[in-house]
Structure 1
Amino acid sequence: MFKGGVRRSGLEWFSSLPACLLLLSVVLFSTSSDLHNQMLQGGEQLWSGYYKLRMDPSEPTCNPGRNIDAAVAQELARSTTEDDPMAALLGAQEKDPADVRLAIERSVADCKAAHQSYDNLRGQLTPGVKAYRAIELFIADLIAFGLESQRYILVLLVMLCAVTATLTRHHIAMRGMQTRLDYTVSYTLQTVANVMLLGSSLIFRQSSMGAETSVSPEDLLLHNVWITGFACLTLASLYRLVRVPVGLASGGTLNKAFFAVPLYTVMCLISGTYFALIGHASGIGIYLGKMMDLADMFLNVGLYVWVGMMLKQTRLATLVFNLFRPWQMPPEMLAVVAVLVAAVPTAYTGASGIFVIAAGAVIYTELRAAGARRQLALAATAMSGSLGVVLRPCLLVVVIAYLNREVTTDELFGWGIWVLVLTAVMFATVALTVNRQSTFNLAPASRALPAMLRAFRPLIPYALVIMTVILFYRFVLNVHMDEFSAPRILPVIMLAILLYEHVSLKNARGKASGEINHQGLERSVRGATNDTTAEIGALLLLLGLSVSIGGVIERSQIMQALPQSFDSLWSAMALMVLVLVLVGMIMDAFGAVILVTATVATIAYASGIHPVHFWMVTLVAFELGYLSPPVALNHLLTRQVVGEAEVLAAQQQAGSFYQRHERIIMPLIAMSISLVLVAFVPLLFYA
């Protein structure tokens, strides 16, 4: 894994400005929907029957002054059958004059009512109504455009950020490019993989054009955007391949060089080769296209990363850590506190990997500043996102409930609290007992508590800013802060915090305790978006290829080799745990949920495992998989955000085997024990 091997130039806005505009458009479109709902309600309150005023009324074509007697006579004459032999032959009968008159009288009454309604509506179309209606209809059109554009926004965001990640050497890999051989092997295979992606997309487009069903212009445009994006990605990797940067060491071994290949490249080579061998060359393109079915979810991932990068630009994390500094906690206890505190923001970022990318650098920096050793700080950073994935309003749980009707978000979040307590206790136990290297000499409460209260004072304005935004959405837009609204509210909260810091620190720079180098609103947003672009490119491309790997597993029918049900719940659960951890080791959270829903979940249900229990086990097993070698995705993401140098420095530290690998072993012990307890203890009550 390598972070930012290339310095961002003065043209950094060339990629980050479009990305910023795309992310802002997602927030704008989703907020417009809330605003439109309120405008409809407001219009109805201001003008009764406003929904009828949204369009200009059409004048009725009927005649309200119609002569009823003449109309009755005309209708009766028309119904006479004496001069119509054919009608008489068919048995036509004369109409009852009373019925004819009644029908015509009703028709005339309805016509008069329609004209009266038309006149009333015209009278209500005041200039104020027309102005209000124009704004409301504009917002309605904006919402419709936003819904239609979601897929295109996602593809543009993925491609733009993927090209940026390629040019800046920011893709997620097992190790960084340290030698020229690493660089050459990595970018050669990246180019091959990108050619595979381009070819698969071209073949998918051609097969779609040749299908019996016609391709809509929207789908054709989407195909063209994918193809253009992969062509640009191929050119970017080819450009980096021929432009070898200076400063790389000579030598190197081929084995280590392969570890510098990005994970998305490995997944692409595996899935592309498999699909080519079975004669399904368009396979990768098809499975990447399936991302469009969950475009809103993947866009939310991008928003969460952006929120985390904006968080890095604020003083908020530093001020929160300032609350605990007066207690003079030993590093192990502070690491436990950091992981526990991180559970809440993790729930709002959707998945542990997203949180590690978003806030891992802040947690690592603060733990190191508090005196934590590198191995401990790296362990806590990697696990910082593992506890909160079971809390409301985690996006991953929402996706599980969306794909599985057997469970609801309320059930999963309800039991998730108990899983959080269990995993927190396990991590605290391991951190405070195994390899503890410091004494517990906490500061006396008489001294620490007043200092803690003083440290809380600078947080009050931040709390007020956050509450202002939440209350605005609650009372102005009638939107509660929950798992569905969090992706669009959190960016607004972070922008409001950056604006507050820009105003409050403009003339008082350096005076506030714990202040970072705040450089103003524009530079903060630009810096956050610069980091976001590369991180989104690395993460979303990995997510997309993870879906493709899921397609390989699904088509190869590996899961079908497993028994479709088990007589023993204990045997079923043991196999489920093994399979789920393995899936977590090779796939991202969202792609893994899609795969498990289609395969393993049905086996678990058929074997008698309760659906809520199964998904709680799944979430914990995934987290263990993300912390387990050889991939250990959360550790790779930690390396991505803290830097290669910090990890190398930690690996060079002397000590026992545990001390030299504490960053790997500590989370494994805590999550393994938690998984065993979550998986098997509930079986005692319903097995």
Structure 2
Amino acid sequence: MTWLVFIAVIVALILLRQRLVVILGVAAAMLYLLWGDGRLDYVVLDIWAAADKEVLLSIPLFILAGNIMAKGSIASRLIDVVRIGTSRIPGGLGIATVLSCAVFSAISGSSTVTLIAVGAIMYPALLNAGYSRSFALGLICAGGTLGIIIPPSIPLILYGVITETSIADLFIAGVGPALLLVLILSVYTLGVNWKAETSPVDWPALWDAGRKSIFAAFMPVLILGGIYSGYFTPTESAAVAVFYAALVEVFIHREMRLRDLEAVTYETAKTLGSLVPVLMLALSINTFMAFEQVPQNMVEAMSALVTSKTGFLLLSLGILLLFGCFMDISSAILILGPLLTPIAESYGIDPVHFGIIMIVNLEIGYLTPPLGLNLIIAMGAFREPFWTIAKAALPFILLLLLGLVITTFWPDLSLFLLR
């Protein structure tokens, strides 16, 4: 009876369209009141303990670095290089869009920042070059999703924090699947636009664009090289990213002023104001579940229903795809990560590999109605109807599903760099 009351309250809050922070706050309070020691101060203590995790500092810092680069010229300089370099290939501008999203994702760590920064430049360029509006919309929305799998990815950091998995290992494991998705999108673009007009590579222009983008191109080398070499922790690399982005944009490129940094910092703070409280409450719920051995009980129940690793993976894919349609990726990770990861480990699935599976799966949720975040962002950025964009994204959803299946059942794609 108590569980029915708990579920009824949570469902009522969802139907009333309450914010996730309210839903998680009520859930945490009810868990401790109904099944804990009845002390709400435990929630506060859990939040305090969660806030003491150093790695959490990397989240606001990477978001701030991405916002600085989106406001400055780093994005446009990198895009110029790949745009000129692919001009000789059929569908080269489309491939340049995919590569631009991949490169910018490696320095922003955010899907929405990638979509806005790259889309603002490449969407009109694709239309002017004769690409169909539907293809251009779908390609940019799909390319923007690369921001959540290519390190330094904010969702990968969230998964690492919530499941206590090495963030550095997750970053390394994300490289293989990210390259696979880039390849799939590029091959599709090449095939669809095989008869498109091409032009010779303008080598002087390419040299000039490369010269102008040298400081921008060094950004992913600095961040990822520092992490993979062990010289930086993820948190330290995030701090370096902010310092380097500000240094390049203000003093080298001179596309921003010092006063502009204040506005960018303010925008970042507003984003964090909605994310951090949710994360803290989710960690409190996780602490309660660990104390009450909820994951262990779920492992036993799941083992009785699903007897094989393949069966569990297929079931997990279905659950994650469903959640991705109705829940933003951060919320899905915070809720499902602590529940599914222990079960995955019981089937012999590496938690790092499962984290990549989860992120790639939820990545597709950015393109699925009714709450696909990239669809909503694109609707405002490109002034197109929501369902027009959703229809344009459909073939790219199928391509991402292909990448998901390969990533899921070929673990070495994620883990070969860790061995």
Match of 1:521 in 2: 257
From 390, 399, 403, the equivalent of 1:661 is 390
Amino acid in the other structure paired with 2:268: T
Instruction: Verify: 1:364 aligned to 2:119, yes or no.
Output: yes
From 209, 224, 237, the equivalent of 1:455 is 209
From 315, 329, 347, the equivalent of 2:73 is 315
Matches within 5 A, 1:313-462: 313-326=71-84, 328=87, 333-350=92-109, 355-372=110-127, 375-387=134-146, 389-394=148-153, 396-397=155-156, 400=159, 412-433=170-191, 436=192, 439-445=195-201, 448-460=202-214
Which string of whole-angstrom CA distances, capped at 9 and with x for unpartnered residues, describes residues 514-558 of structure 1?
Answer: xxxx4x513422332343233333444554566688799999979
Instruction: Verify: 1:672 aligned to 2:364, yes or no.
Output: no
Amino acid in the other structure paired with 2:118: I
Cα distance 1:551–1:401, how it changes in 2: closer, same or farther (>3 A)?
closer
Give me the whole-angstrom Cα distance separating, in 2, the residues matched to 1:419 and 1:479: 22
Give me the whole-angstrom Cα distance separating, in 2, the residues matched to 1:374 and 1:287: 52
Match of 1:617 in 2: 357
More helix as a share of residues? 2
Amino acid in the other structure paired with 2:120: T
Unaligned runs of 5+ in 1: 1-195, 197-257, 506-517, 654-659
Give me the whole-angstrom Cα distance separating, in 2, the residues matched to 1:364 and 1:619: 22
From 22, 25, 30, the equivalent of 1:268 is 22
Give me the whole-angstrom Cα distance separating, in 1, the residues matched to 2:249 and 2:209: 20
Which string of whole-angstrom CA distances, capped at 9 and with x for unpartnered residues, describes residues 167-211 of structure 1?
Answer: xxxxxxxxxxxxxxxxxxxxxxxxxxxxx9xxxxxxxxxxxxxxx
Higher-RCO chain (CA-CA 8 Å, sequence separation at least 6): 2
Cα distance 1:543–1:343, how it changes in 2: closer, same or farther (>3 A)?
farther
Q: CA RMSD in A?
A: 4.6
Three-state SS of the structure 2 residue aligned to 1:678 is helix
Q: Report the identity percentage.
A: 19
Cα distance 1:388–1:281, how it changes in 2: closer, same or farther (>3 A)?
same
C-alpha contact (below 8 Å) 2:367/2:397 kept by paired residues:
yes
Deviation at 1:498, TM superposition (A): 2.5
Instruction: Verify: 1:489 aligned to 2:240, yes or no.
Output: yes
Give me the whole-angstrom Cα distance separating, in 2, the residues matched to 1:288 and 1:331: 55
Deviation at 1:490, TM superposition (A): 0.8
From 269, 289, 312, the equivalent of 2:47 is 289
Which string of whole-angstrom CA distances, capped at 9 and with x for unpartnered residues, describes residues 597-624 of structure 1?
Answer: 5321222222233444433322222212
**TM-score between the two structures when normalised by the length of structure 1:** 0.46
Give me the whole-angstrom Cα distance separating, in 1, the residues matched to 2:372 and 2:136: 16
Give me the whole-angstrom Cα distance separating, in 1, the residues matched to 2:284 and 2:370: 20
Which string of whole-angstrom CA distances, capped at 9 and with x for unpartnered residues, describes residues 379-414 of structure 1?
Answer: 444434533545555465466556667x75676455
Instruction: Verify: 1:575 aligned to 2:300, yes or no.
Output: no
From 363, 372, 375, the equivalent of 1:632 is 372
Give me the whole-angstrom Cα distance separating, in 1, the residues matched to 2:88 and 2:125: 9
C-alpha contact (below 8 Å) 1:624/1:671 kept by paired residues:
yes
Cα distance 1:398–1:316, how it changes in 2: closer, same or farther (>3 A)?
closer
Give me the whole-angstrom Cα distance separating, in 2, the residues matched to 1:587 and 1:291: 26
Give me the whole-angstrom Cα distance separating, in 1, the residues matched to 2:176 and 2:46: 36
Three-state SS of the structure 2 residue aligned to 1:318 is helix
Cα distance 1:663–1:303, how it changes in 2: closer, same or farther (>3 A)?
farther
Matches within 5 A, 1:490-569: 490-501=241-252, 518=255, 521-541=257-277, 543=279, 560=298, 562-564=301-303, 566-569=306-309
Deviation at 1:563, TM superposition (A): 1.5
User: Which of these two proteins has the greater Rg computed from alpha carbons?
Assistant: 1
Give me the whole-angstrom Cα distance separating, in 1, the residues matched to 2:147 and 2:328: 16
Give me the whole-angstrom Cα distance separating, in 2, the residues matched to 1:389 and 1:340: 15
Unaligned runs of 5+ in 2: 1-8, 413-419
Cα distance 1:271–1:331, how it changes in 2: closer, same or farther (>3 A)?
farther
C-alpha contact (below 8 Å) 1:332/1:432 kept by paired residues:
yes
C-alpha contact (below 8 Å) 1:347/1:390 kept by paired residues:
no
Match of 1:161 in 2: none
C-alpha contact (below 8 Å) 2:325/2:372 kept by paired residues:
yes
Cα distance 1:553–1:390, how it changes in 2: closer, same or farther (>3 A)?
same
Give me the whole-angstrom Cα distance separating, in 1, the residues matched to 2:22 and 2:205: 54
Three-state SS of the structure 1 residue aligned to 2:57 is helix
Give me the whole-angstrom Cα distance separating, in 1, the residues matched to 2:184 and 2:231: 33
Give me the whole-angstrom Cα distance separating, in 2, the residues matched to 1:674 and 1:470: 28
